[in-house]
Amino acid sequence: MTDSAMESVSPTHIHSGHTPTCPICQDIFSHPKVLACGHSFCLECLRAMAPRGTSHVKCPLCGRPSTIPNGDIYELPTNFGLQDAIEGFFASDVSPPERSSHEAREGR
């Protein structure tokens, strides 16, 4: 993973009590995917921006285009570092986390 992939959400930021949120939906990241520029967004947020069959998506933060493998947003790389940091953040939290809006819509 590149340094820029976690640029806006460092482990220090997470451990200091700040919940990492998607820049699009402003909610806790859900299934974070990373674009070629290193910025991460929720899978569902990117899916709304780039319907199935779209070959490229423009990063809403920096404007850099990213190729969507096989026109399927699900095939973008998962930001496992961010996903693990979020899971670690909630594992150390004494109260159960609120579900993200994406998880609520999925019925979880």
CB atoms within 10 A of CB 73: 22
Between the CA of residue 107 and those of 30, 50, 91, what are the distances in Å? Answer: 13, 23, 21
**pTM greater than the 0.85 cutoff:** no
Task: Give residue-wise pLDDT tens across range 47-106.
Answer: 999 888 889 999 999 999 999 999 999 999 999 999 998 888 777 655 545 556 665 566
Q: How far apart are the first and last CA of the chain?
A: 29
Task: Give residue-wise pLDDT tens across range 12-26.
Answer: 344 445 678 999 999
Domain 3-106: give its CATH architecture.
2-Layer Sandwich (3.30)
CA–CA dist 31, 16 (Å, integer): 22
Domain locations along the chain: 3-106
CB atoms within 10 A of CB 70: 11
